[in-house]
Amino acid sequence: AVADYLVKKSVWLIGGDGWAYDIGFGGLDHVLSSGRNLKVLVLDTEVYSNTGGQASKATPRAAVAKFAAGGKPAAKKDLGMIAMSYGNVYVARVAMGGRD
pLDDT tens readout for residues 7-59: 888 899 999 988 998 888 999 999 999 989 999 999 988 877 777 777 777 77
Map out the domains of the chain as residue ranges: 3-84
Q: How far is it, in rounded angstroms, from Cα 93 to Cα 19? A: 17
Q: What is the pLDDT of residue 98?
A: 66
Q: pLDDT-based confidence at 90, cuts 50/70/90?
A: very high
Residue-level pLDDT at 96 = 77
Instruction: Give yes or no for a contact between 91 and 83, defined as CB atoms under 8 angstroms apart.
Output: yes
The mean pLDDT of 58-71, rounded to a whole number, is 73
Q: Which of 79, 17, 73, 77 is nearest to 48 (CA)?
A: 17
